Amino acid sequence: MNIYRGVSNLTIALCPGSFDPVTNGHINIFERAAKMFDHLIVAVFSNVRKKPFLTIEERLDLLKKSTSHIENITIDAFDGLLADYAKDKRADVIVRGLRDQKDFIYETSQMLMIKHMAPNVEMVYLMSEQRYSYVSSSAIRELVNFHGDIKGLVPTCVENAIIEKFKYVQ
């Protein structure tokens, strides 16, 4: 795939999400995707269907800290349509992590809409490793709400930020 047509032969992949907060499952998907493509853009968007737990700025900061070990990654934020953002970044591939068949059904409907708007963009699904198959941002938010243990489910910097912001004690 030639994403910067005429400029280089680099393959740019885009991994969008709300990452509110980023989990160890997300980091695992980023690490694996970064090995598959020349460059990975992790793009934070504001999900209009969800009330934010962390601000966009906090999520960007935590993503940068959590992925500092990945050399070929850029952390960014966007507003608007994913298809437009993918075109703007000249990405050929959108990477989505899947935990189960429910995620697959949801992501397939999203992919069809994106393909309608950006027919040259391909979708790549990466299955979650079993140890992360039950970890989601919404589960982390619920654990925090009820003072459950999030250790090992999110990067340490995320755990520390949540403890600080919410005066959260496990």
Selecting among 5, 50, 131, 165, the annotated active-site residue is 50
Task: Reply yes or no on whether 26 is catalytic.
Answer: yes
Helix locations, 9-119, DSSP H: 24-36, 56-66, 82-88, 101-117
Task: Reply yes or no on whether 99 is catalytic.
Answer: yes
Whether the Cβ atoms of residue 46 and residue 154 lie closer than 8 Å to each other: no
Task: Reply yes or no on whether 133 is catalytic.
Answer: no
Q: Which of 5, 67, 6 is nearest to 41 (CA)?
A: 67
Which residues are CB-neighbours of 132 under 8 A, at least 6 positions away? 23, 24, 25, 28, 99
Q: Which of 67, 78, 76, 55 is nearest to 161 (CA)?
A: 55
Selecting among 99, 115, 133, 136, the annotated active-site residue is 99
Selecting among 18, 26, 89, 96, the annotated active-site residue is 26
Query: Which residues are identified as catalytic?
Result: 26, 50, 99, 137
